[in-house]
Structure 1
Amino acid sequence: MTSAARSAPVVPTATYRLQLQPGFPFAAAADAVPYLASLGVSHLHLSPVLEAVPGSSHGYDVTDHARVREELGGEEGLRALAATAREHGLGLVVDIVPNHMAMAPRHNHALWEVLREGPGSPYARWFDVDWEAGGGQLLVPVLGGPVGEVLGDLRVDGDVLRYHDHMFPLRAGTEGLPLPELLDAQWYRPVWWRLARTELNYRRFFSISELIGVRVEDPEVFDATHGTILRLLREGVIDGLRIDHPDGLADPDGYLARLHEASGGRWTVVEKILAAEERLPDSWPVAGTTGYDALRRIDGLFTDPAGAAELVELYRAFAAPQTDRGGDWAATERRAAYGVLPHELAAELDRLTRAAVRACAASPDPALRDRAPWALRTALEELLVRMEVYRPYASGDAADVVTAEAAAEARGAFTVPEEAGAVDVVRGLLLGRDPHPAAVELRTRFAQTSSALRAKAVEDTAFYRYVPLPAANEVGGDPGLLGVTPEDFHAYCARVQRDRPLTGTVLSTHDTKRSADVRAALAVLTECPGRWAELLDQVTHTEERVPDGQTAWAAWQTVFGLGPADPERVRDALLKHVREAGMYTSWTEQEPPYEEAVAAFLAEGPCGAPGERVAALRESLEPHIRANVLGAALVHLTMPGVPDVYQGTEGEYRALVDPDNRRPVAFPPAAPGPKDAVTAAALRLRRRRPDAFGAKAGHRPLPAEGPTAAHLLAFTRSEETITAVTRLSLRLAEAGGWADTRLPLPPGTWADTLAPEREFTGTVAAADLFARLPVALLERVG
């Protein structure tokens, strides 16, 4: 069968993520299609394709849902890419952004009309604006200083107000007014950017004021913002969807139900971050998540829990942080939430408080009266910081996440016991089903604020403060639970195959703080924490300019994970690290002396001569790093679910936090290595035997026998393929190797997909199975 005769399956067997940007448009993606088809994936997974802010390197700042992005080649370019993909048997999955748009009026026509016509605009229903809180004006935080100091930089140009590169429409009839009066007469209020923290009156993406929330719960807004994507689905240009940040929506349940119906039930995954044992709501009509829950468990397989615990103690001794500032995970997480909520999310907390006041006033229950706004605010704050999942959902029981235990703790924040009753009032409103608009608004705002707080406090703050093993600090990760047992991993796989067999799985994405290969290297340190401590003792000297212990520890691990130090990349990643941590500098309150000290430390230490010792340690551990890299890759590609391969990660790929991980990659890679071979073998096997990995497939653990059996993880998919990988290979070497450890195979003859001349039957010695590589992928033959 020729490649042109093949047609892409409706449901992916594996996807390949491409980061589109002006420097890598649709035409460049089309050029890569022959290589990607030969790799074995079934679909290209494209980053957002709709019109975005000019020059955007990611596309999540959408400006026009009706048009495919011209900088990428427009709809014609997308159709050409789809046609080329079809010729090679591939389909397209597209990332869509329902939660927000760019707060860029000059590019966002809908927003421009709202600023020009105010709440009477037909587009006003698109955006989540609290007009009353802004005195009838939408706050636009773009000025470089208080308006009185920058008034001279504002100028009227016809019916447009200009401020440097910013443009705003003028309300009809106001063009001739003196500038101060003209500003007061608009439906918007340009203000100093710092006022966004406390005065903002529109919903945004987390704390990013440049992204304004969209009300897709409104059917008219849904139709307008999804029309083009749904048309492309109907016309066969695209096959499936990835949904960005559904947790920000007012009603994720309703949105996903509407999308499922409108798309005809196309394969769809959601970017949903699940806590340790949290489940995706059963009622959601989606294939599953984008796969961070799988990432956490795969990484955990290659982490030694005992060594990780020792590493934590060494970190505490080295960095000597206070318990709630990086020395203990739970305390650090809680402190970060307390810091973020009244600071970065102050405007959101204020709006939520106003909603609580209105809900109490509207309730017929006298028990809700006479509650001071400050008490309601405190109750909300105390309940929010105790949320252990991102948010409650209409399809679930809010009492499961806004728990009685959390309420009991929250009451302790009040010095006057009688005032603590505000906690029960707020919790009652959150758990209730009162249909009054004020109560509905409170429940909605609480859920949206909760998801923003969880993201900002955990992912963007605490993950940068508590760093004994940075590899564990990934989206959806839990640094307080290091390591996953094979039994727990197999139980997870069984649940996935039973409940969501077509869910997405990932190891690296455009959002991971370190690529899978960097994390695989760092995981080896849990097998030799003593050697790591000894190295730090050698390279760290008290007379050196070390900014602080936590940053120093993170920096040394960064250069170990990345390999031969690239000073510029390390510096950029560490600068982002210290600003996100927010302990000595931040994005909005930068401390140049501290940041300069960090840069000097990096140049003289991790990126200087002492870094050569780190490189030497890494080189000595290279076989064990390779075992982790290949093992994680093979498990990811053959476990239940639909694997997503991030661009470039089919081969060796070492990247740090964005934008480092969004750099263009070469197709095909210049020098393929063992990981390329393992990836291609697994993907091609999935394509040859789709039923062995699909919705009705099986997953069964294959236990090894012998003295080092714990280091061999194996499973069969539908009794047709076998995955076998080496775990904790350094510990295995210290134990003397495989000795007479064996793996009993299911009946039949099994061929090595990487070396088909090698066949096995019965029971195979681990030493023979892993004679060529620390992993093996077998296929039933004959």
Structure 2
Amino acid sequence: MSEPGPDIPSGTYRIQLFGLDGSRYLGFEEAGALAPYLEALGVSHAYLSPILQAAPGSTHGYDVVDHGLVSEELGGLDGYRAMVGRFHEHGLQVMVDVVPNHMAVPDPPELNGPLAGVIEEGPESPYARWFDVDWEAGGGRIILPGDGEPNYRRFFDISGLIALRQEDPEVFARTHSQILILIAEGLIDALRIDHPDGLTDPRGYLERLSTAVSELGPPPWTVVEKITTGAERLPSDWRCAGTTGYDALGVVGGLFIDPEGEEPLTDAYTAFTSGPRGFTGVEYECRRYAALHGLRPEVARLHRVLCRVLDVPEEDAERRDDLREALVGLLAAMPVYRAYVVPGEPPPQQAVDVLEEALRRARERVPSRLSRDLDLIVRLALGHDPQGGGDGAAAEFVVRFQQTCAPVAAKGGEDTAFYRWSRMIALNEVGGDPERFSVSPEEFHEYCAEMARVRPWTMTTLSTHDTKRQEDARARLAVLAELPEQWRAAVESWRRWDPKGSPMEPELEYLLWQTLVGSWPVSEDRLAEFLTKAMREAKTRSSWLEPDRDYENAVIGHARRALNNADLVARVIGFVSLLEPYARVNALGQKLVQLTMPGVPDVYQGCELTGPAMVDPDNRRPVDYDARRARLVRLDDGQPPRDLDDEKLLVTSRALRLRRHRPDWFASAHERVAASGQAASNAVAFLRGEALTVATRLPRGLERGGGWADTHLHATAARWRDVLTGEVHQGPLLGLADVLRTYPVALLVPDALDFDGNGASA
């Protein structure tokens, strides 16, 4: 494994910038003021959400309207320079989120200059090459949302975001000019690339970006927001360090879920909802729904290209309908977000395997009479042109098929099916597979060894601005797998709290009870906001496009009354209290593992303390940094943790500081450390260099089995010191009952190391 370069982060901290109507909540000035705290916390890079000019009222920055302008709402270019100066004074570098896939369709559209030109001049505009517009469908003009069904490719199904054609060198140059200037001036040190799967050629885009930045100096550390699924890995020829960490999130989370809970929790779920035992069929139908409804314009355009490639006339309605049905079936059956085929190049084996798997799955779902059409579409998607070149339609089909796969997967899966199948919502996470119930220690260590070998500087994370629920909510819900019978009894009793009955669909109600348990305490307004989103995402009784206000009001009213029922609330609190000792173990364990495993760890804003938030916008609420500063000062003064928040802050700061102090250790291989004894399966331990991570898993089972007793770790050094407690432990045989006496985790270093974890606080 290569040594870390000077610009490889030891740890990043994600900051959600926010500016609105001239009054900033967290702009460049406020972000810069966090520099002393972030230095004390132990990170090396401040990781910023998009910094360019966004649409008026933007709360996230991904709706860019001007790539040549640093956001005025956030503080403008001068404010950005001042912020970076503050960071640099404290030894921090800056990472920026880049949005190449799309721009905003603002209100009024004239706020987006290039788009305004296309609206006025149509395909004759010099900016027409910027956007992916279906001129045929619009009769030579661009159709906006407030005028009918949009005729441009969008970000997923969001009509307020219009896709960019980054394959065009001029578009790339114009939309990256300001970012490249800031890199050249030393004001950006690392990059996060948003949604490359929406681009015509992600590999080609990254090559162009790498070439452009290499001309300015050492290339910045770059990661991409790429969702991998199952055994899928980032293509090896992409010029980036890795992903933004959803793959690591799923592996780490699964490590702390008891596989023995799968069957009883499935039984509890099906008994409550009468829903299916498996997720696959639900996901397929939801993907079909997305393809036929929210993503209908994109699928219709792809279908027209397909018919043009095959020379099927419009008069042959039956044939065209068959092709549409087969196409939708194949899109819905894709096992991953995208297959990476470049027109004119032999398809990589990974793409062949993906499309063959999609073909197998589709054959199980679509009528047998469409089997030959499925075969034909797969051949076309792999770049086999039956016309031998034709008018370029075959190449266009290859690209558009891939660009349509990703939104079908995302909108049908995580934004629909995840709200319709709620067996265990800790698993219903971005990049996750709700049917993959748990991850064994063997699988975890195999994953880590692979990442250390092939993508040592990929990002790891447990929470982001897009996660369905924050890490500590998942840690608490993971305990249900160890208490399935208690959960089943509790949820069956709670559903009977109202003698008038519930207006909720059973699936939504089961989701509600898990949400209350995972995110308790929850206010009425926060819960109402979550339930509204859940109903509209599920699209069974309500939706974003056609909200059923009567149903929504009935559900929200029922939920509000539940939160005001003293007896019910007492029972929910009692159940949460039952989970808390075990949730603590999971929360601290998954955090330490994520911070020390192979990769570059990110801490999402505020998650150095416990954060049981729900999906956005709940997980983007203001963060109380004053409270965090005060807690860190107390810990650095030698005062013991007072609560779980302090304990998590201790784990986070000491692990990040150690990584910053000894980056060479965390550039080394991942080495599993074996345990022996009656509770060996409850321990997960590994070495990174000379740092030994120890965490507890499945705490309820450990308790039932009588604790650690004679369980030992077979370590190497003679004397170890725990940077969390300062205690020294005699090796090389380490008794876990002793090592984990204070906390359910330990971060051990050789006793001779001149590092105690303390540092100058903010």
Tell me if TM exceeds 0.5.
yes
Find the counterpart in structure 2 of residue 678 from structure 1. 651
Q: 1:402 aligns with which of 336, 340, 355?
A: 355
Find the counterpart in structure 1 of residue 366 from structure 2. 413
Q: 1:702 aligns with which of 673, 681, 691?
A: 673
Find the counterpart in structure 1 of residue 139 from structure 2. 135
Find the counterpart in structure 1 of residue 170 from structure 2. 220
Task: Map 1:643-682; keep pairs closer than 5 Å.
Answer: 643-670=601-628, 672=631, 673-682=646-655
- The residue type equivalent to 2:178 in the other structure is T
- The residue type equivalent to 2:7 in the other structure is V
**Contact 1:289–1:504 (Cα < 8 Å) also in 2:** yes
Measured after TM superposition, the shift of residue 432 of structure 1 is: 2.5
Measured after TM superposition, the shift of residue 412 of structure 1 is: 7.0
> RMSD over aligned Cα, in angstroms?
1.9
Secondary structure of the equivalent of 2:375?
A: helix
Q: 1:10 aligns with which of 7, 10, 26?
A: 7
Q: Give per-residue Cα distances to partners, 1:73-92, cap 9 Å, x unaligned.
A: 11111111111111111000
Find the counterpart in structure 2 of residue 112 from structure 1. 116
**Contact 2:98–2:192 (Cα < 8 Å) also in 1:** yes
- The residue type equivalent to 1:137 in the other structure is R
Distance 1:661 1:426, change over 3 A: same
- Find the aligned partners of 2:134 and 2:600 in 1 and give their Cα distance: 41
Find the counterpart in structure 1 of residue 22 from structure 2. none
Distance 1:762 1:341, change over 3 A: same
Find the counterpart in structure 1 of residue 29 from structure 2. 27
- The residue type equivalent to 2:699 in the other structure is S
**Residue range with higher mean Cα deviation, 730-739 or 442-451:** 730-739
What is the aligned residue count? Answer: 707
> Is 1:507 aligned with 2:462?
yes
- Find the aligned partners of 1:703 and 1:203 in 2 and give their Cα distance: 52
- Find the aligned partners of 2:209 and 2:455 in 1 and give their Cα distance: 18
Measured after TM superposition, the shift of residue 9 of structure 1 is: 3.7
Measured after TM superposition, the shift of residue 546 of structure 1 is: 4.2
> Is 1:328 aligned with 2:301?
no
Measured after TM superposition, the shift of residue 133 of structure 1 is: 1.5
Measured after TM superposition, the shift of residue 538 of structure 1 is: 2.5
> Is 1:483 aligned with 2:438?
yes
Find the counterpart in structure 2 of residue 388 from structure 1. 335
Q: 2:534 aligns with which of 558, 567, 577?
A: 577
**Contact 1:467–1:554 (Cα < 8 Å) also in 2:** yes
Q: Give per-residue Cα distances to partners, 1:50-79, cap 9 Å, x unaligned.
A: 000122110000001011101011111111
Measured after TM superposition, the shift of residue 544 of structure 1 is: 2.5
Q: Give per-residue Cα distances to partners, 1:349-394, cap 9 Å, x unaligned.
A: 110011112222399xxxxx99932222122112111101001113
Q: 1:715 aligns with which of 686, 692, 701?
A: 686
- Find the aligned partners of 1:614 and 1:606 in 2 and give their Cα distance: 10
- Find the aligned partners of 1:775 and 1:334 in 2 and give their Cα distance: 40
**Contact 1:602–1:608 (Cα < 8 Å) also in 2:** no
**Contact 2:729–2:739 (Cα < 8 Å) also in 1:** no
- Find the aligned partners of 1:570 and 1:371 in 2 and give their Cα distance: 48
- The residue type equivalent to 1:781 in the other structure is D
**Residue range with higher mean Cα deviation, 393-402 or 549-558:** 393-402
Q: 1:733 aligns with which of 689, 693, 703?
A: 703
- The residue type equivalent to 1:13 in the other structure is S
- Find the aligned partners of 2:502 and 2:381 in 1 and give their Cα distance: 50
Task: Map 1:292-331; keep pairs closer than 5 Å.
Answer: 292-321=246-275, 323=276, 327-331=277-281
Find the counterpart in structure 1 of residue 383 from structure 2. 432
- The residue type equivalent to 1:379 in the other structure is A
- Find the aligned partners of 1:440 and 1:432 in 2 and give their Cα distance: 7
**Contact 1:131–1:137 (Cα < 8 Å) also in 2:** yes
Measured after TM superposition, the shift of residue 600 of structure 1 is: 2.2
**Contact 1:53–1:102 (Cα < 8 Å) also in 2:** yes
- Find the aligned partners of 1:254 and 1:305 in 2 and give their Cα distance: 41
Structure 1 residue runs of 4+, over 6 Å off?
none
Find the counterpart in structure 1 of residue 415 from structure 2. 460
Measured after TM superposition, the shift of residue 423 of structure 1 is: 2.4
> Is 1:243 aligned with 2:226?
no
- Find the aligned partners of 2:203 and 2:166 in 1 and give their Cα distance: 12
Q: Give per-residue Cα distances to partners, 1:216-250, cap 9 Å, x unaligned.
A: 11011000001111111121101111010000111
**Contact 1:579–1:586 (Cα < 8 Å) also in 2:** yes
Secondary structure of the equivalent of 1:51?
A: strand
Measured after TM superposition, the shift of residue 36 of structure 1 is: 0.5
Task: Map 1:104-253; keep pairs closer than 5 Å.
Answer: 104=106, 105-142=109-146, 191=147, 195-196=148-149, 200-253=150-203
- Find the aligned partners of 1:407 and 1:563 in 2 and give their Cα distance: 43
Distance 1:730 1:81, change over 3 A: same
**Contact 1:411–1:421 (Cα < 8 Å) also in 2:** no
Q: Give per-residue Cα distances to partners, 1:532-560, cap 9 Å, x unaligned.
A: 11112332216422412111111111111
Secondary structure of the equivalent of 1:665?
A: coil
- The residue type equivalent to 2:555 in the other structure is V
Find the counterpart in structure 2 of residue 154 from structure 1. none
- Find the aligned partners of 1:444 and 1:735 in 2 and give their Cα distance: 55
- The residue type equivalent to 2:460 in the other structure is T
**Contact 1:565–1:607 (Cα < 8 Å) also in 2:** no
Find the counterpart in structure 1 of residue 660 from structure 2. 687
Secondary structure of the equivalent of 2:136?
A: coil
Q: 1:83 aligns with which of 72, 82, 85?
A: 85
Find the counterpart in structure 2 of residue 589 from structure 1. 546
Find the counterpart in structure 2 of residue 269 from structure 1. 223
TM-score (norm 1): 0.88
- Find the aligned partners of 1:757 and 1:297 in 2 and give their Cα distance: 30
**Contact 2:334–2:358 (Cα < 8 Å) also in 1:** no
- Find the aligned partners of 1:439 and 1:244 in 2 and give their Cα distance: 28
Q: Give per-residue Cα distances to partners, 1:148-186, cap 9 Å, x unaligned.
A: xxxxxxxxxxxxxxxxxxxxxxxxxxxxxxxxxxxxxxx
TM-score (norm 2): 0.90
- Stretches of structure 1 lacking an aligned partner (at least 5 in a row): 1-7, 143-190, 364-368
Find the counterpart in structure 2 of residue 751 from structure 1. 721
- Find the aligned partners of 1:729 and 1:567 in 2 and give their Cα distance: 32
**Contact 1:341–1:349 (Cα < 8 Å) also in 2:** yes
- The residue type equivalent to 2:482 in the other structure is E
Secondary structure of the equivalent of 2:404?
A: helix
- Find the aligned partners of 2:295 and 2:174 in 1 and give their Cα distance: 29
- Find the aligned partners of 1:703 and 1:353 in 2 and give their Cα distance: 55
- Find the aligned partners of 1:698 and 1:633 in 2 and give their Cα distance: 20
Secondary structure of the equivalent of 2:144?
A: strand
Find the counterpart in structure 1 of residue 756 from structure 2. none
Find the counterpart in structure 1 of residue 760 from structure 2. none
Measured after TM superposition, the shift of residue 410 of structure 1 is: 3.7
**Contact 1:741–1:765 (Cα < 8 Å) also in 2:** yes
Secondary structure of the equivalent of 2:311?
A: helix
Distance 1:134 1:14, change over 3 A: same
Q: Give per-residue Cα distances to partners, 1:400-442, cap 9 Å, x unaligned.
A: 1211672684497346x4x653323222211225455211110
Q: Give per-residue Cα distances to partners, 1:614-673, cap 9 Å, x unaligned.
A: 111111221111101100100000000000100000111221110111112122435631
Find the counterpart in structure 2 of residue 185 from structure 1. none
Identity of aligned residues (%): 47
Find the counterpart in structure 1 of residue 588 from structure 2. 630
> Is 1:343 aligned with 2:313?
no
Q: 1:281 aligns with which of 214, 232, 235?
A: 235
Measured after TM superposition, the shift of residue 604 of structure 1 is: 2.6
